[in-house]
Amino acid sequence: MENNIYNPDYVKGLFNRMSSSYESMNFITSFGFSIRWRRQFIKSFTPPNYKAEILDLLTGMGETWKSTKNKLPNSNLTVLDFSEGMLQYAKQKNRQHYNNEIIVLQQDILKNDLPSNYYDFVTCAFGLKTFNDEQLTILALETKRILKVGGQFSFVEVSKPQNPMLYLFYSFYLQRVIPILGKLFLGSPDEYKMLWQYTEKFENAKNAMAIFARSGLDTTFSAYFYGCATGFYGQKSKS
């Protein structure tokens, strides 16, 4: 398993299996901060005076949609994920709360047919940790390709806090407590054990930010709640 945790088929299967409980578990694993972080990570966006095109990558069950639509109400929202399990719940949310106005795509962002120079904003919450450096490079180049010149982006990910005491508590919680809850929800702790393995390997968003910067995107680092989440935001200043 260790050598395959970044294999797209493995990642898709993992999230398919977690899809029935992932939204609740995401809230629990972050002590409810995930909702706040989803609002905070798009604060850098400057709303345009025209109808914007937004793309939410690795959209999962649509947990970021509310924050995005509140921040950019005059917009068209397209969302993308490759997990059919997650998108089953996303499509249900689209029907119940958004009148099916959100465009839902089942695609792998690393192999996609999205239009170039099209989107004004690209968002991605809590998906970076499932990519290795090679995949992050592709992700950066694809983000650059699909954004308009002047287009803005923001990414956020659960991270390892730098404070030693906070790290001890957080690692114990994710390593020991969350798998128990996973067993209660899914009957197996294995899937939720993987969330800590991904987080521990990811550490924080600085490496991913550097990869995006090397692709030619303007980037700025951001940290939330003493580094329990980190991310970066910026724009495509040139083609």
Express each pLDDT in 182-193 by its tens digit.
677 655 667 777
Bridge partners of 234?
153, 219
- Tell me if 115 sits within 8 A of 105, measured CB to CB: no
Q: Please, what is the Cα angle at 41 between 35 and 45, to 5 degrees?
A: 130
Q: Give per-residue pLDDT as tens, 197-225.
A: 898 899 999 999 999 999 999 999 999 99
155's tokens: 């990414």
Lowest-pLDDT choice from 33-37, 42-46, 64-68, 213-217:
33-37
* Percent of the chain as helix, strand, coil, to the nearest 5: 45, 20, 30
DSSP alpha helix (H) spans, the chain:
8-18, 22-29, 33-40, 65-71, 84-97, 133-146, 164-172, 178-186, 190-202, 206-214
* pLDDT value of residue 187: 57
* pLDDT value of residue 1: 40
* Residue 63 φ/ψ, nearest 5 degrees: -70, -20
CATH 3.40.50.150, domain 2-161+198-235, yes or no: yes
Could you identify the residue written with the tokens 């005491």?
165
For the chain, the average pLDDT equals 91
Count Cβ neighbours within 10 Å for each residue of 156-176 and write b for 16 or more, e otherwise.
bbbbbbeeeeeeeebeeebbe
How many Cβ atoms sit within 10 Å of the Cβ of residue 92? 12
Of 59 and 191, more confident: 59
The dihedral over CA atoms of 85, 88, 94, 99, expressed in degrees to the nearest 10, equals 170
* pLDDT value of residue 21: 75
Map out the domains of the chain as residue ranges.
Answer: 2-161+198-235
Q: Kindly indicate the confidence band of residue 239, based on its pLDDT and cuts at 50, 70 and 90.
A: confident
Return the percentage of the chain with pLDDT > 90, whole number.
Answer: 72
- Tell me if 215 sits within 8 A of 191, measured CB to CB: no
Of 208 and 169, more confident: 208
